[in-house]
Amino acid sequence: MASDSVFLIDIERILKQKTGKKYKYIPSFLISYLKRIVHQDELNEFLNGAKGKEGVEFLEACMEFLDTKVEVKGMENLPEDGRYTFVSNHPLGGQDGISIGYVLGKKYDGNVRYLVNDLLMNLHGLAPLCIPVNKTGSQSRDFPRMVEAGFKADNHIIMFPAGLCSRRQNGVIKDLEWKKTFIVKSVETQRDVIPLHFEGRNSDFFYNLANACKFLGIKVNIAMLYLADEMFKNRHKTFTLTIGKPIPWQTFDRSKTPSEWAQHVKDIVYKL
């Protein structure tokens, strides 16, 4: 793809790719609804306007577009030297990832990398800050190698160990189980872990939809379709990001399994 091209969201093209000959049976009102729910026109207008912006500059443009402000607590806990693994809860799926990347990117002069779903690589402005991860598609065989390379590099790593954004469980909005990858790789590459807590929430509709899909046994992550809509609902807000003290990698010894250590760090995050 040419470097001056802009990735634009095209619901019709995506549906044609995914459904093939069955596309003609999809009612036009459903296509219109999907375009509206993913805010296709507004996002494409923004992406055209942000053309040529990359990395932290692109994140700054996102912050302005969403009118997002962040109050940061614990900036004094950010070390000047070394390389670190930053792990955070994932309450929103939009402003949290953008804000954390922006704050840390400004602090460390763009020397940060997200470990993210490879779909986000389509956003050219974000791509320089991403280590793409696709565990199910053609890259699945490369997944361990890409994670390995990411951790061995000199960049700081930003991770949301839950993978998905938070859900409501037993009346409490909280991340699902944290995966152990960040513990295993941080120990292997001798990176201290810095816990982050981002305060925010999505709408009741989002949590109810996610729980209804789970109850009905629907494996497709339908709630993900609504993340753009949730991002727009969360415009013009101020969020609080709390940075905890670095946890030395030597902490993660054999007294607990890596999965238990991951849960331990998750508990620390929710106490920040």
DSSP letters for 18-35: HHGGGGGGS-HHHHHHHH
Residue range 54-271, CATH number: 3.40.1130.10
Average pLDDT over residues 195-218: 93
> DSSP secondary-structure letter at 177?
P
Q: What is the mean pLDDT of the chain?
A: 88
Given this model, what pLDDT does residue 141 score? Answer: 59
Share of the chain above pLDDT 70, in %: 91
Domain boundaries, the chain: 1-49, 54-271
Per-residue pLDDT of 31-47, as tens digits, reads 899 899 989 999 999 99
Given this model, what pLDDT does residue 120 score? Answer: 65
Given this model, what pLDDT does residue 127 score? Answer: 80
- Total Cβ atoms within 10 A of residue 56: 23
Query: Which uninterrupted H or E stretch holds 57?
Result: helix 56-66
Structure tokens at 268: 């620390």
Average pLDDT over residues 130-141: 60
**Terminal-to-terminal C-alpha distance of the chain:** 43
Average pLDDT over residues 186-210: 95
Structure tokens at 251: 């902490």
pLDDT exceeds 50 at position 164: yes
Residue 91's closest CA among 32, 172, 13, 29?
172
Given this model, what pLDDT does residue 2 score? Answer: 37
Q: What predicted TM-score, i.e. pTM, was given to this entire model?
A: 0.88
pLDDT exceeds 80 at position 12: yes
How far apart CA 223 and CA 227 sit, in angstroms, is 7
Confidence of residue 140 (pLDDT cuts 50, 70, 90): low
Per-residue pLDDT of 258-270, as tens digits, reads 999 999 999 999 9
Per-residue pLDDT of 112-135, as tens digits, reads 998 876 666 667 788 888 886 655
Query: Which uninterrupted H or E stretch holds 240?
Result: strand 238-243
